[in-house]
Amino acid sequence: MNAVARASIAAIDQEDRRRQTRRLDSRQTPHQRINGHERLAFCSNDYLGLAADPRIAQAAMAAAATYGVGAGAAHLINGHHAEHEALETELAQATRREAALLFSTGYMANIGVLQTLSDRHTVVFEDRLNHASLIDAARIQRASTQRYDHGDAHHLAARLTARAPRRRRHERWIIVTDGVFSMDGDIAPLPALVELAQRFDAWLVVDDAHGFGVLGHHGGGTLDSLQLCAAQVPVLIATLGKALGTAGAFIAGDKTLIEWIRQRARTYIYTTAQPPLIAAATRAALAIMRDEPQRRASLQRHIAKFTQAIDRTDLERMPSSTPIQPIKVPGGHDADAVAWAQRLDDLGLLVPAIRSPTVPSGQSRLRVTLSAAHTDADIEHLIDALLATSPQART
Ligand SMILES: *Cc1c(COP(=O)(O)O)cnc(C)c1O
């Protein structure tokens, strides 16, 4: 086996695609220690600055003292603790839906949702840039998949129209999209997708991993910000390891939908429930998300400051209004992206280079993510450093 493994790793090296693990030696805050060195990081998904919030840690410790650590069993055996149940109720309220179901990770939630919703005659329509877990979910189901161009409702309409004459009588159609796209930071054209789902009798599934907590008046997410309800988007998935700063994921929707998923999703049934202390921590995070809108306000201020400053320079950013702010690398070559990230690293800034296969070849970029935990000075430092190290500055 080792010979095969070595050959496979050599192939990765050949393509210059080997990834290195960075060891975080401190809390997940913007100023952190990585591999023993101080860094100012612009790459976490901790958009509200909650990952290291002491109140959330306190809630986790109190729950550990009360319940211990392990859930001890799957939800449908006897691992479903009171904390899980209370959290599900609060998540349903936060997304203004009838019910919610907790999963241990977003990846598992996506596999479970598509497994429940698809049958042998299902066609899944996916945005080309959907998160890997949504692509894998359709693949695992062996559902027939149609990809449409990123964010392009016209292209989706064309796909649906072309397929319609061949649609069998009980053939289910499911349209699946990220709410906020993880590598581009832009938002799906949801009102147009809702209209297409209604016109073509398809189910609409939105994965709002990067919108929940960040967008909407109370952090309810992308659907909340666009005032789309459960009748328009029946299946909402969101994760808890990003803006909420803890771990896990949930699906929210009508009671009947949630009960269906609870009974069918293998990634819900055949896995140990997340530790109840995580549910308790998430409840504390949800309360902060609701009661401290100033965190969203700080984040929006940072986004405005960053985008306005970049737009006054030669640097090219992608059209995003969210905390995910990709900066294009001229020419889009992997090696140039990596070299730029290295120059930033030399200045003490952690801004990851994103290259293929995570993004299409020739579209390598730096991916900046902003957090409410950054200070104004951090944002200014980032802008100065990007300008000082950009390929443009060097020619
Ligand atoms: C991060 C992410 C996931 C996976 O969630 P985890 O809880 O980290 O497994 C799923 N979908 C999207 C869009 C994501 O960004």
* 299 ligand 1 Cβ < 6 A: no
What mean pLDDT value characterizes the chain?
A: 96
Q: pLDDT digit string (tens) for 87-108?
A: 999 999 999 999 999 999 999 9
Q: pLDDT digit string (tens) for 179-201?
A: 999 999 999 999 999 999 999 99
* 249 ligand 1 Cβ < 6 A: yes
pTM for this entry:
0.96
Structure tokens at 125: 């329509």
Pairing of strands 365-369, 324-328: antiparallel
Asked if the model's pLDDT at residue 395 lies above 70, the reply is no
With contact defined as beta carbons under 8 Å apart, do 135 and 116 qualify? Answer: no
- How far is ligand 1, taken at its centre, from the CA of residue 164, in Å? 31
Q: pLDDT digit string (tens) for 204-221?
A: 999 999 999 999 989 999
Straight-line distance from the first to the last Cα atom of the chain, in angstroms, rounded to the nearest whole number: 47
Pairing of strands 349-350, 37-41: parallel
- How far is ligand 1, taken at its centre, from the CA of residue 107, in Å? 6
Tell which atom from ligand 1 comes closest to the C-alpha of 105: 7
* 179 ligand 1 Cβ < 6 A: no
Tell which atom from ligand 1 comes closest to the C-alpha of 240: 7
* 322 ligand 1 Cβ < 6 A: no
Under the phi-then-psi rule, with left for phi > 0, alpha for psi from -120 to 50, and beta for the rest, what region is 321?
alpha
Q: Which residues of 76-91 are buried (b: 16+ CB within 10 A; e: fewer)?
A: eeebbbebbeebbebb
* 355 ligand 1 Cβ < 6 A: no
Asked if the model's pLDDT at residue 177 lies above 80, the reply is yes
**CA 92, CA 42: separation in Å to the nearest integer?**
31
Q: pLDDT digit string (tens) for 225-239?
A: 999 999 999 999 999
